[in-house]
Structure formats: structure tokens, C-alpha cells
């Protein structure tokens, strides 16, 4: 996991209206054994890289995903993320069953809590995260995709929560995020039967935002992400925070949070620029301040 100082910095960075310093933290060289991390033109591409095990999430992948999210939080140069799996067969085929097989109640709970914390941190990193689902997204893989803000599915992608077939339940948020995304009835059907669904069905029930041919998956995911990154970054961040926090609030509290964001955004140079650009019939140049 991150050292304490880095975690504290991460908490600070999660604040939507943090005054951005013009001195981004120096990029720390990071080497991962189970992930690929590429940064180009503002987009970090994180690839879970255990194709021989269908990118199953073992303890090292979870730890390294936490470190990668820390980097996303810290580095101002990173404006958005695409998360995918290595190879064409799997996004992530779940938690590593070989590891789970030997666990007892205490380490089982600890494994769930650690994975949940990493996924939650990804969900709250303040920058848009798109899952490019290139194949099987099962169990922890479906849960990882659901912790991302949007999901683009390749035609060959398959989604499911098959944990009950193994005599266990979801541990990385499946029972929590799936009903929020697709509704209680559909979520329970998938959770209780362990049935796998194809990309079109995932799209139909609202689990996937888009279905694209496999060979276009990364390009289409990037196009979607870039269409978000063209917008005011503070406004995007506020939307992420308002939806994330607002879903857990009463209607009136959530509306107040939205109004507070609306007011705060009205004090930003980006809002002046965005409205002025509209009136002057030109493209806005947002600075994130």
C-alpha cells in the first residue's frame, strides 16, 4: 500500500475544489510486476497483465492497483484513465481462485476489505476512469469494471458474478454496485444464478455504456474519454463527486450538494472561460482553475 504521506496527499487530491499547484509532484518511477502503466497525452492506460491466468486478481495485482491509483491521484499530468486487461480473452476473470481456495474467515475478510478499499479509491480518484472491457469480466473483474465510471465493452466481452458457483459471495462490491447500476431485480438474478451475460445484454441493462468491435475497443474508449476531457476539469470532478456522494444522501441533501458545487464552480476561471467562449462562438480553453 501507499506510504502515509502519499495517502494523505491522495486524500487532499480528492477534494474537488483543491487549488491546483502549478508544481506537479515529480513523477516517481514505478515498476509493476502485474500491471502495465502507460501515460500518453494526459491519459494513463492501466493494463492488468496476467494473461496466462486470465488477469485474475491476486494479492499483488490488488496492491499494485492501489499504487497505480495513488499515481493517478497525485500526478496533475494524468487527466483520465483507461483500465483494461492484457490479451483478447479476459478483462479480469475474477479474484484469484487459487489464493481464495486456501483462505479462512479472517484473511477472507481482510482480502475483501483491501480490494474494496482499492476499488473505492479508484472510484473516488477525481478523474474519469473508463473500463475497456476486452473479454471476461467475472467476479472481481465485473466488480473492478463497475468501480470505473464508464464501461466500454468489446463485442466478445462477458460479464457476470459467478461467486455463488464457488460457494462464496462477491467480496469487492458486487452486491453493492451492481444493484445501483442495473436495479435490484436484475442484480439479484445475476448474483443468485451466477449467469454470464454477453456485451449486448450488459448494454441493454445499463451495465455497459457502449458496445464496440473488439479491434476498436481502445480507440473508442479513448474517444469517449477525450470527449470528457474536453470539458472543464473542475466541473467534471464535481459531477463525479456529486453523483458518488449524492446517491448516498437524501434528495434534499443531494440537491444542496449540487447547489454548493454550482456555486463553487461559479467562482472558477473555467466557468468564466466556458460561458465567454460560448457567447463568443469559440472553443473554450479550460485551465482547471
Counting contacts by CB under 6 A, is residue 220 touching ligand COA?
no
Q: Is 138 in the site for ligand COA (CB under 6 A)?
A: yes
Q: Does 53 bind ligand COA (CB under 6 A)?
A: yes
User: One symbol per residue from 74 to 93: x for binding ligand COA (CB under 6 A), - otherwise; what is it?
Assistant: -------------------x
Report if residue 174 touches ligand COA, rule: CB under 6 A.
no
Is residue 54 near ligand COA by the rule CB under 6 A?
yes
CB of 57 to ligand COA, least distance (A): 8
Q: Which stretch binds ligand COA (CB under 6 A): 131-139, 180-188, 201-209, 254-262?
A: 131-139
Size of the residue set binding ligand COA (CB under 6 A): 15
Closer residue to ligand COA, CB minimum distance, 141 or 232: 141
Indicate the residue among 162 and 232 with the shorter CB distance to ligand COA: 162
What DSSP string describes the chain? ---HHHHHHHHHHTSTTPPPPSSPPPPPP---SSEEEEEETTEEEEEE--GGGTT-B-HHHHHHHHHHHHHHHH-TT--EEEEEESSSSEEE--B-HHHHTT--HHHHHHHHHHHHHHHHHHHTSSS-EEEEE-SEEETHHHHHHHHSSEEEEETT-EEE-GGGGGT----SSHHHHHHHHH-HHHHHHHHHH---EEHHHHHHTTS-SEEE-GGGHHHHHHHHHHHHHTS-HHHHHHHHHHHHHHTTS-HHHHHHHHHHHHHHHTTSHHHHHHHHHHHTTS-------
The CA distance from 183 to 172, in Å, is 18
Q: Which of residues 183-202 bind ligand COA (CB under 6 A)?
A: none
Find the part of the chain contacting ligand COA (CB under 6 A) among 108-116, 126-134, 162-170, 267-275.
162-170
- Which residue in 73, 75, 163, 220 binds ligand COA (CB under 6 A)? 163
Taking CB under 6 A as the criterion, the residue among 70, 80, 94, 128 binding ligand COA is: 94
Positions annotated as catalytic residues are 143, 163
Q: How far is the CB of 98 from ligand COA (least distance, A)?
A: 5
- Residue 285 burial (C-beta neighbours within 10 Å; 0-12, 13-18, 19+): exposed
- Per-position x/- string for 110-129, each x denoting binding to ligand COA as judged by CB under 6 A, each - no binding: --------------------
Would you count residue 63 as binding ligand COA (CB under 6 A)?
no
User: Nearer Cβ to ligand COA, position 56 or 205?
Assistant: 56
**Interaction between residue 136 and ligand COA (CB under 6 A):** yes
Q: How far is CA 258 from CA 238, 239, 262, 266, 271, in A?
A: 8, 8, 6, 12, 16
**Which residues of this protein are in contact with ligand COA, per CB under 6 A?**
53-54, 56, 93-98, 136, 138-139, 162-163, 166
Amino acid at each position: 500500500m501507499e506510504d502515509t504521506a502519499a495517502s494523505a496527499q491522495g486524500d487532499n487530491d480528492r477534494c474537488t475544489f483543491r487549488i491546483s499547484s502549478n508544481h506537479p509532484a515529480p513523477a516517481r518511477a514505478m515498476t509493476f510486476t502485474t500491471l502495465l502503466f502507460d501515460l500518453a497525452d494526459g491519459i494513463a492506460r492501466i493494463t492488468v497483465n496476467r494473461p496466462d491466468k486470465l488477469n485474475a486478481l491476486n494479492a499483488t495485482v490488488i496492491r499494485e492497483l492501489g499504487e497505480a491509483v495513488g499515481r493517478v491521484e497525485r500526478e496533475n499530468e494524468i487527466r483520465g484513465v483507461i483500465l483494461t486487461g492484457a490479451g483478447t480473452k479476459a478483462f479480469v476473470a475474477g479474484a484469484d481462485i487459487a489464493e481464495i481456495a486456501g483462505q479462512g474467515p479472517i484473511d477472507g475478510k481482510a482480502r475483501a476489505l483491501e480490494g474494496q478499499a482499492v476499488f473505492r479509491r479508484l472510484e473516488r480518484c477525481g478523474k474519469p476512469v473508463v473500463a475497456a472491457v476486452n473479454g471476461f469480466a467475472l467476479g472481481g473483474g465485473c466488480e473492478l469494471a463497475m468501480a470505473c465510471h464508464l464501461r466500454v465493452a468489446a463485442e466478445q466481452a462477458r460479464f457476470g458474478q459467478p461467486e455463488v458457483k464457488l460457494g462464496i459471495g462477491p467480496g469487492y462490491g458486487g452486491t453493492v454496485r451492481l444493484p445501483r447500476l442495473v436495479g435490484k431485480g436484475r442484480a439479484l438474478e445475476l448474483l443468485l444464478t451466477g449467469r454470464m451475460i454477453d456485451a449486448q445484454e450488459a448494454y441493454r441493462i445499463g451495465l455497459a455504456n457502449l458496445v464496440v468491435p473488439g479491434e476498436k475497443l481502445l480507440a473508442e474508449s479513448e474517444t469517449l474519454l477525450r470527449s470528457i476531457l474536453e470539458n472543464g476539469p473542475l466541473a467534471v470532478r464535481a459531477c463525479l463527486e456529486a453523483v458518488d456522494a449524492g446517491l448516498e444522501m437524501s434528495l434534499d441533501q443531494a440537491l444542496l450538494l449540487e447547489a454548493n458545487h454550482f456555486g463553487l464552480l461559479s467562482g472558477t476561471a473555467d466557468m468564466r472561460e466556458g460561458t465567454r467562449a460560448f457567447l463568443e462562438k469559440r472553443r473554450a480553453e479550460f485551465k482547471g482553475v
